[in-house]
Homo-oligomer: A and B are copies of this chain.
Amino acid sequence: MTQWPIKKTPGKLLYKVVENFLQEQITAGELAPGDLIPSEPQLAEYLSVSTGTVKKALENLVHQKLLYRHQGKGTYVSRIDFNNSLFRFFSYGTHSGNPVRIRKQTPVRELAIGSEKICQRLHVPTGTEMVYIERVGFRDDKAVLIEQCWWVADLVRGLEKEEVHIPDLLYAVVVDQFDLPIVRSEESLTAEIADQTTAASLGIAVGEPLVVLHRLTYSKNNLPVEFRITRGRADSFSYRTEIR
């Protein structure tokens, strides 16, 4: 974080002012995921408020998962955690609820022109060039899910090339090799039945139920960078919540 512009209170809540200030720094990319932010007394000094007010603001941001804190170390900007994806509710065999490792292959990676629908999702003009990636997830050598990913090509030039190794977590490459910080994702879940090609890839019958996850991933400044559709067998999916 370059410099800390001192905000004063107009008629707003002080702790909200502190929250908004930090939130803007984060979404704008001034504070990047993993960064250490100034300590409570420092923030209090800079912003001319008491440490109690800073503490309240930080507690709220921690609750929103934008920050995390370590006693004795400091306060850090959170990294996105894809373990929070709805897709971790696929168990694929064991219903124990324990996380299951899915090995991934990448049979298709190529440059392509984005369809109207895909381009709309990514907020780019229809016909924009994309890197299209298709991945298959295996558990115990059995294909259990299929991902289709569209990346805005200008942001990840060369991702389509065979030389670039893609690990299980695709986002790791993008962050490391293309300097494209991944900040957050929006997901939506629904159900479909398997069509001919999906069924063939997953080794199931046409008409079997699938759980379908749409994911739109953003970089800093709310810039959409990837749209992804993941389809998996429904028979081992269950998402749990509690109502109060």
Contacts and interface: CB of A to CB of B under 8 A. Distances in A.
Given A63-B63, A207-B207, A209-B209, A243 B81 contact: yes
Interface residues on A, range: 35 or more
Contact of A240 (B81, B186, B237, B244): B186
A191 interface: yes
Given A81-B243, A193-B207, A188 B238 contact: yes
A51 to B, nearest CB: 14
Nearest to A211: B191
B85 A243 contact: yes
A16 to B, nearest CB: 16
Interface in A110-137: none
B188 A244 contact: no
Interface string A24-68: 000000000000000000000000000000000000000111100
A241 B210 CA distance: 19
A63 B242 CA distance: 14
A244 B209 contact: no
A4 interface: no
A209 B191 contact: yes
Nearest 9 Cβ contacts at the A-B interface: A191-B191, A191-B234, A185-B243, A189-B239, A191-B209, A190-B238, A188-B240, A188-B238, A65-B244
